[in-house]
Amino acid sequence: MVRVKKLGNCMDYPTVAKPAKKLHQSCFKSHARKLRSSITPGVVAIILAGVHKGKHVVVLKQLETGLLLITGPMTLNGCPMRRINQKFIIATKTKIDVSSVKVPESINDAYFARVKAENKAKKEGDIFEKKKVEYAPSEQRKKDQAEVDKQVMDAIKKEKEGAALKQYMRSTFGLSKGQFPHKLVF
């Protein structure tokens, strides 16, 4: 029987006990990484958001966190090798055979982690002379980018329509008046 205290015109019910904590809570590391069936290595995709939106890129592989490793190639459209969530790309039906492309083992999620800039010791009078540190890719990144780009470009050249494919990769995606994305076939 529940005890109810009567306080004036309102009734005071006891609070409900909180449910017990789960002993084994699921964390992000243990989540299953599901990839859309249309996204496979070698598929040409369109980036929907970010600095490189509208560019055509090649999907290289899926990383451990579920993000996709893509490249422009940099020599064609200026899009470097980067990670992107599959929500932010549209996979097209165009596919390149990238089975011969060897992505270095060092390229993983830790490879793309941001490096904090070092703050130099303040000198007297340097209050207003603080300069914003610009991002500059390391020599290792430049070397890896060039190596992967060369392999992807060779794969594009081997395709039957290699010259047309290069032009397609250079072009950007955009909608015209009267075009609706849900009615297009990519």
Cα(41)–Cα(58) distance, integer angstroms: 8
Residue 122 has pLDDT above 80, yes or no: no
Tokens of 127: 């209050």
List pLDDT tens digits, range 89-116.
999 999 999 999 999 999 998 998 877 6
Digit-coded pLDDT (tens) for 1-46: 555 555 555 666 667 777 777 766 667 677 778 899 999 999 999 9
- The highest-confidence range among 30-34, 64-68, 115-119, by mean pLDDT, is 64-68
pLDDT band per the 50, 70, 90 thresholds, residue 53: very high
Q: Which residues of 89-115 are buried (b: 16+ CB within 10 A; e: fewer)?
A: bebbebebebeebebeeebeeebeeee
Listed by start position, the domains of the chain span 33-116+138-170
DSSP per-residue letters across the chain:
----EEETTEEEPPPPPPPPPPSS---GGGS-----TT--TTEEEEE-SSTTTTBEEEEEEE-TTSPEEEE--HHHHS--SEEE-GGGEEEEEEE---TT----TT-STGGGPPPPPPPPPP-TT-SS---PPPP---HHHHHHHHHHHHHHHHHHHHSTTHHHHHHHHHSB--PPTT--GGG---
CA distance 76 to 68: 20
Evaluate whether the domain defined by 33-116+138-170 bears CATH number 3.40.190.10.
no
C-alpha distance across the termini of the chain, in Å: 66
Mean pLDDT of the chain: 85
